[in-house]
Chain A
Amino acid sequence: MPDVTFIVDGKQLTAPAGTLLIDACRTAGIEIPAFCYYPGLSLQAACRMCVVRIEKMPKLQTACTTPVAEGMIVQTETDETKQARKATLELLLGNHPLDCPVCDAGGECELQDMTFKYGASESKFVEIKQHREEQQWSPVVFFDRPRCILCYRCVRMCGEGMDVWALGVQNRGVGSVIAPNRQDHLDCEECGACIDVCPVGALTSGTYRYKTRPWEMNHVATVCTHCGDGCKVTLGIRQDNDGSEVVRGDNRDKSGINGDFLCAKGRFAFDFVNRTDRLTQPLVRQANGQLEAVSWEHAIQFVGKKLTEIRNQRGGKSIGFIGSNRTTNEDNYILQKFARSVVGTNNIDHHRTADFAGFVQALAKHSAKAASLRDFESAAATLVIGGDPTEQHPLLAWNIRTNVRLNNSRLYIANTEKIKLHRQAKAFLALPAQDGYGSFANSLHAGGANDETKTFLDGLRAEESLIVAMGPELRDGTIAAIVAAFPQAKFALLGDYSNSRGAADMGLFPDLLPGFTPLCANATFATEYGMEFSAEPGLNLIQMLDAAARGDLGALYVVGSNPVSRYNVPADSLENTFLIVQDLFLTETALLADVVLPAASAYEKSGTMTNTYGDLQLVKKGGDRAGTRSDLEIIVRIAAAMGAKVNSLVPYGKGVSSDLGQTRGAQSGEADRHAVWLSAHNLEPRVSPFDPNAVLDEIHRLIPGYAGLSRLTLAAGNDQHLPSAEPTGLVQIDLSSHAGLTLPTGDGLFASGTLGRYCSTLGELAAEHPQSAEMATDASA
């Protein structure tokens, strides 16, 4: 659209024709107050706060509904507009209760801010305020009805934004109220977006209610530890006796990859951090069969000694490693480096939530591109095949819905279930429950499809630019067929958990090195690790568990994973294996362990994570729990206890200005706080062998796909899309075994694997919404 020029407060501005005056002003740094206007949601012009004086128009105009016009002359802060806004505030405050002392929004309240600015604090009214009862609409949503200023943001966010439509307006005039869809409570997705969007304290979080004031918290921006979307979440942290307490999670500043959006898990499922049954002391199983607390020193030395013994007596091939989908890239990279270079084994695997190797191979074969999560915000056409974004990748679903709503983009869905996103779809193809995706893949190339499929495919092929999201049900050959069918498109694979993609990228595979590098193409890593690689793949997860059952697995080191539960492993099958478990809680796997090591959670350490789309983000240490250590530190210390050279394992000490002696202590357990202190003093934190930044150096240097990462972008808190790895020789490798080892989680909005069971709020929400809790896992290929 051509630009128009106009004048605001004497300043000449330019904006594309059709831009709303309020947006043009805000972009130019001219503040225009508004309650009901919310970018991305339909216009209301209800609050009348954004009124401005436009020459040649008789009445004050709302800037939110006026498009800019050539030659328009606007005054935004005149006596007249200020008086209009002041009068509006006086009227709002007329019935608004004086709850500031007890209201959660105090300090973050837009009504407070406006009142400060326009000075409407003296009341002209003596009559009684209109009072309505406070209500609790769900375990996590409270509605303090008297505070509501009827800006209708919540109604629109729930409807237009989330496509849930659980909120509406009832009655008329001053008796108007916002009402939930079940008379006195909500039946919704509990995303809590209504809470963030409410400008006052009418809608508040049930988990945060009355707990603290915003200025009593430190706010740390990190990445949610749950699904594969990797939303940014701001944690509100407060100091307490055991370290610190995470008091709330939200995305009020709308920054990061998720903008306005955050789901129930990101918002409420942080409470696992504060539980009293967190592991805070290392445990070692005694002769009497009981697990007893020991010191860290004792635990580390014991593990180091045992692993060295087993390695020396039975070889590295008798030791197995199971890594995590929720630990950082640095943790994962060091785990596999430790396994390969110190223990001497390729027996390393993890719970594979999607066939990333098959995905990357297919892309490499056809020189196709991967789609970033942001691509879904603006794609002209999107195909979702398999998966259920509304339940499992809520940010993706948000991006798709917003794209359809605001940009008229076209959505095509092919699925064995009528997933909720079909409501936005231009075309929905129902696939048979039995091998539906396989037969769809066949019809892409072989023809012989039925009429319905033909029409669907014709529509797709007519799209000039397309992005394709594939659910985790799709593997190997099916993925390859789809990539081959739309060579110009961009692709995404929907794995679960915050760092599943990172686990795969960092090489937690028995047959692949970091960056999906085949074992036979190991030259770079061989040089770097100073060793020779066997091209023989190690045992995969299932094979490791089988070997243990046979008594052939001498030791198994499990980090942040619960295979005993996930794979239904009988308790006695690990009796003959020295089991080390590093986790947050005494899970089913930890209960069988010989050594239990308490780890810091993802919210308590720094590093990087890669979401399922290949977008890299920085995870920043928020909370703190005394007694826990970061996974990185534990692994490095065990390596050291095995006699490994620590500065071969972790490239620390290569910094320019290290600060020996001036620190608060590069002591164990304070690594990350130490790093924060150092960077706050402009010192490069390279002294510590537990420093994830040092590991990131190596990742950056060595791993295909991570070579282009920008440290600046990361440090600024932004996401960056990594180009899909183009690993040498991957194309030729037979990766078909990966398909059978893929086990999609089936976690819906209120489930998050083992970790989710320790989130009490999530449990409450799951109990309220049983149909959304667990979905059937698709075990077929």
Chain B
Amino acid sequence: MPNISHHPDEVSVVSYRFGKGAANIDKYLELGGYESLKKCLGLEPDAIVAEMKASGLRGRGGAGFPTGMKWSFVPKQSAKPKYILVNGDESEPGTCKDRLIFEHDPHAVIEGVIIAGLAVGAQMGFIYLRGEYRYLLTIMERAIADAYAKGFLGKNICGSGKDFEVISHTGAGAYEVGEESALMESLEGKRGIPRIRPPFPAVVGLYGGPTVINNAETIATVPHVFRIGGAEYAKLGTERNGGTRLFCLSGHVKNPGVYELPMGYNLKKMVYEVGGGIANGRKLKAVVPGGSSTPVLLPEEIDIGMDFDQVGKAGSMLGSGGVVVIDDQTCMVNFALRTMKFYQHESCGWCIPCREGTDWLKKTLTRFHAGGGVEKDIDNIRYLSENMLGRTFCPLGDAAAMPTIAFVKKFRHEFEAHLDGKPCPYAHAEDLALA
């Protein structure tokens, strides 16, 4: 097990029980576990939703949709059963936070699911783990079994007269099923292709019933919101971006790790103080702020607060919190290529622009990086990306297009340095193992 990193600027909310053995239910209870559930069992559903709205919590998976508002979309009456679905398909490159929650605090996820169920009138929750997290499944299954045994799940939970069931399920290794409608398809046993929307999951979701889908970190934060109070949680962050979040700081920093910092924390500070600055005596070249789908930022662009709105204004996205720091010995063309290989591999293949576009981008970038590129390839790469943007069936196409457009725009000189059969200027660099 890797060491739990610490930095004094951290504010522990969702990571409150990390490293304390809270996967064990007795320990979890000792650390105040399931108290929020008991509190919520005494609240009206509208009150639960109101508290979530007050917290300003926004989806931690990447889209940043206000959680309280999402829950309020679920219709009160429904002919079909309602469901809570936890999106544990953490697959965005650069993101490694949900795995820690599953490892260290699985009960927070369970507790959050039940509270969400109380808020919207659901009596069943699914916890979906990505297939590659099979080693965490045992921990989650054990936690669920323990919760049943102690009466937090099943019939008449905590003696409240209410029932709640939770089922865990793994995927089979696809990034696309992190998209919420593809997630539902996968859970229903079908190919992981997204659905046509509208209708949206809150109205027609799993098995046709109203479904709330939340990222694992979001759902795990829910009991903490009730532990410290919605308004208190909101105060920890910035306006319209309440609370804290887990940032996954990786790349060429001295102290890579997962850090829980307040929303709006300055990115430059994060790189140089929390991350300890660039390793190996090199200089900063670029930062990818929120996972590979987010447009890259140049060093002069990182003096911004890391919340959804500020990063949006800077032309990128807060995304999944995967902060990837890139030093000046890294070939950005190679970085773009490696990113595109991911999207080409993960494209579900449903729609033409993404299926074919990511393939041609990968092929073109491969040839280009190997020295076979010509001037018009650079425009072609941009053309392909621009014609994928906004044209695809789901945002994976956008996720592939936006970073590529940014790479070409901000590092055109590096692309040009590969023309005319010239070898990659960074070929000597030791950490070429990116490819």
A contacts, CB < 8 Å to B: 43-48, 51, 58-60, 65, 83-84, 87-88, 91-92, 94-95, 124-127, 130, 149-150, 169, 171-176
Contacts and interface: CB of A to CB of B under 8 A. Distances in A.
Contact of B352 (A91, A127, A130, A172): A91
A48 B358 contact: no
Contact of A48 (B191, B353, B359, B363): B353
B360 A94 contact: yes
B355 A47 contact: no
A92 B387 CA distance: 13
B355 A173 contact: yes
B350 interface: yes
A173 B358 contact: yes
B393 A45 contact: yes
Given A125-B364, A173-B344, A46 B356 contact: no
Contact of A127 (B349, B355, B356, B364): B364
A124 B385 CA distance: 13
Contacts of A59: 390-391
Contact of A88 (B196, B346, B347, B353): B353
Contacts of B383: 87, 124
A65 B196 contact: yes
B162 interface: no
A91 B357 contact: yes
A78 to B, nearest CB: 14
Name the residue in B344, B347, B391 with the highest tally of chain A Cβ atoms < 10 Å from its Cβ: B391
B352 A88 contact: yes
A95 B359 CA distance: 10
A127 B196 CA distance: 33
23 contacts: A43-B196, A46-B351, A46-B393, A48-B351, A48-B353, A48-B391, A60-B391, A83-B387, A84-B391, A91-B356, A91-B360, A92-B352, A94-B360, A125-B360, A125-B363, A130-B359, A172-B174, A172-B347, A173-B344, A173-B349, A174-B355, A174-B356, A174-B359
B352 A149 contact: yes
A746 B384 CA distance: 58
Contact of B349 (A88, A91, A125, A150): A150
Contacts of B344: 173-174
Nearest to B194: A45
B80 interface: no
A48 B345 CA distance: 21
A178 to B, nearest CB: 11
Name the residue in A95, A127, A169, A173 with the highest tally of chain B Cβ atoms < 10 Å from its Cβ: A173
Nearest to B372: A126
B392 interface: yes
Nearest to B390: A59
A45 B357 CA distance: 17
Q: Chain B: interface residue count, which band?
A: 20 to 34
Given A87-B353, A88-B352, A91-B352, A124 B380 contact: yes
A84 B351 CA distance: 13
A172 B358 CA distance: 13
Contacts of A84: 387, 391
Contacts of A171: 349
B391 A87 contact: yes
A173 B347 contact: yes
B216 interface: no
Nearest to B363: A127
Contacts of A169: 191, 349
A390 B349 CA distance: 34
A173 B191 CA distance: 12
Name the residue in B174, B344, B350, B384 with the highest tally of chain A Cβ atoms < 10 Å from its Cβ: B350
Nearest to B347: A173
A94 B359 CA distance: 10
Given A60-B390, A174-B355, 8 more contacts: A44-B350, A48-B392, A48-B393, A58-B390, A84-B391, A88-B353, A171-B349, A173-B344
A127 B349 CA distance: 20
Given A60-B390, A124-B380, A174-B347, A46 B352 contact: yes
Name the residue in B346, B352, B384 with the highest tally of chain A Cβ atoms < 10 Å from its Cβ: B352
Nearest to B380: A124
Nearest to B191: A169
Contacts of B392: 48
Interface string B346-380: 11111111011111100110010000000000001
Contacts of A174: 344, 347, 349, 355-356, 358-359
Nearest to A58: B390
A172 B347 CA distance: 7
Contacts of B176: 172
Nearest to A149: B352
A125 to B, nearest CB: 6
B386 to A, nearest CB: 9
A455 B425 CA distance: 81
A169 B392 CA distance: 19
A115 to B, nearest CB: 14
Nearest to A86: B387
Contacts of B384: 124
A579 B349 CA distance: 66
Contacts of A150: 349, 352, 355
B393 A127 contact: no
Contacts of A60: 390-391
Contacts of A94: 356, 359-360
A110 to B, nearest CB: 14
A83 B356 CA distance: 16
Contacts of A125: 360, 363-364
7 closest Cβ contacts across the A-B interface? A87-B387, A176-B349, A91-B356, A173-B347, A174-B359, A127-B363, A59-B390
B182 to A, nearest CB: 11
Nearest to B398: A59
A199 to B, nearest CB: 13
Interface in B153-179: 174, 176
Contact of B359 (A43, A46, A124, A173): A173
Interface string B190-215: 01000010000000000000000000
Nearest to B350: A46
B370 to A, nearest CB: 12
B343 to A, nearest CB: 9
Contact of B351 (A47, A87, A126, A172): A47
Contacts of B363: 125, 127
A65 B196 CA distance: 8
Interface string B401-428: 0000000000000000000000000000
A137 to B, nearest CB: 21
Name the residue in B191, B356, B364, B383 with the highest tally of chain A Cβ atoms < 10 Å from its Cβ: B356
A51 to B, nearest CB: 7
Contacts of A126: 367
Contacts of A176: 349, 355
Contacts of A92: 352, 356
Name the residue in A65, A87, A95, A130 with the highest tally of chain B Cβ atoms < 10 Å from its Cβ: A87
B66 to A, nearest CB: 19
A570 B279 CA distance: 100
A758 B364 CA distance: 55
A48 B347 contact: no
Nearest to B195: A45
Name the residue in A60, A83, A84, A94 with the highest tally of chain B Cβ atoms < 10 Å from its Cβ: A94
Contacts of A95: 356, 359
A566 to B, nearest CB: 49
A265 B196 CA distance: 37
A598 to B, nearest CB: 54
B353 A45 contact: no
A375 to B, nearest CB: 32
B200 to A, nearest CB: 13
A373 B358 CA distance: 48
B337 to A, nearest CB: 14
A91 B353 CA distance: 7
Contacts of A65: 196
A88 B350 CA distance: 13
A47 B346 CA distance: 18
